[in-house]
Amino acid sequence: MTPNGAIALVIVVVLAAMMARISGLVALYLFTALFAVIEVGPHAAVALRRAVILMLPLAAFMILVWVGVVGRAPADIAASQPGSRMNALIYVSIVCARLFLIVAIVQIAAMRFATLTPLQFIQALRAPVALKRLGVLTLSLVETLLQAVDRAHTALIASGVITRRISARNLFHGWVLVQTVWLTAITSVTGRMRDKWPMEHTLQLLDPLLAETHAAPLATPDKLWIFSAAVIAVGIVWGDFHGVP
């Protein structure tokens, strides 16, 4: 599977999930399971664990708001009926099932390329060079920003503006930390753009690397997966028109 194929597949599955009712969700879960087993293998468990970690707090929050506070499903509210907490729970379960599927397919697709470095992934993409360059620069700045956070944090603790542990002072001066991180990062990148990169010809070396891609836009397995997902999506739309639950 190619990176372009994975992105296209995720888009089709996500759109289908948003339209799906219960039967459609079941079909998409089966499809996603098949995709995980064939394309990712045992590593799919790691992707699923990540999806659960992302979804659990969200599900708890939705249950708190809908079942705990509101106590009715949106359909009950729209029909001006008293409703019940059970209806609210069913509603939350369907929304959470849909969101979990979306999170899971994204994580599984990402896991498919876990062996590639982010630079290799971007290099293999069929996309305009400016976008690929933006991706590479963003990745390179992540490390710069982490260092900026570290430096600013240490300097502000040393000067007594903020503290290492949770405190009211941190709440009031948190904004100073944001400003300091911003300025530290700006200073670093200005130095790089003005001195380091021109001296080392970084950008001249980067552009040909990003421009040359040997990968086809979509490989045969990509087309098969995307076609299968599209068939399910069409089935979901058809079911929607014909009142399939």
Partner 1 sequence: MLTTPRLIAIALCAALNFAVGSIVYLIKLPLYLDSIGTILCALLIYPDRRAAFVCSFLAAMISTVITTLFINPFLIWFSATELALALVAAYFIADAEAIFRARPLPMLRFGTRVVLYGILTGVVSAVVSAPVVAYVFGGVTGSGSAFLVAFFLKAGQHLMAAVLHSGFTAEPIDKTLQVLFAALLFRATPKDFIEMVRARPQPAPT
Binding site for partner 1 (CB under 8 A): 18, 54-55, 58, 61-62, 65-66, 69-70, 72-74, 77-78, 91-92, 95, 99, 102-103, 106, 110, 130, 133-134, 137-138, 141-142, 145, 175, 178-179, 182-183, 185-187, 189-190, 193-194, 197, 203
| CB closer to partner 1, 188 vs 228 | 188
| CB closer to partner 1, 126 vs 133 | 133
Provide the 10 A C-beta neighbour count for residue 20: 26
Provide the 10 A C-beta neighbour count for residue 56: 12
Which helix (H) or strand (E) segment holds residue 85: the answer is: helix 85-112
CB of 220 to partner 1, least distance (A): 27
Provide the 10 A C-beta neighbour count for residue 47: 22
| CB closer to partner 1, 39 vs 72 | 72
Q: Which residues contact 75 (CB under 8 A, 6 or more apart)?
A: 83, 87, 91
CB of 78 to partner 1, least distance (A): 6
| CB closer to partner 1, 96 vs 219 | 96
- Interior angle at CA 162, CA 159 and CA 166, nearest 5: 150
CA dihedral 168→170→175→178, nearest 10 degrees, is -160
CB of 243 to partner 1, least distance (A): 19
Instruction: Give the span between the Cα atoms of 33 and 27, in whole angstroms.
Output: 10
| CB closer to partner 1, 185 vs 232 | 185
Closest C-alpha to 5, from 234, 225, 175, 192: 225
Instruction: Give the span between the Cα atoms of 200 and 194, in whole angstroms.
Output: 11
The backbone region for 23, taken as left when phi is positive above 0, alpha when psi lies in -120 to 50, beta otherwise, is alpha
CB of 226 to partner 1, least distance (A): 19
- Interior angle at CA 10, CA 143 and CA 139, nearest 5: 10
CB of 17 to partner 1, least distance (A): 11
| CB closer to partner 1, 12 vs 103 | 103
CB of 38 to partner 1, least distance (A): 22
| CB closer to partner 1, 59 vs 219 | 59
CB of 27 to partner 1, least distance (A): 20
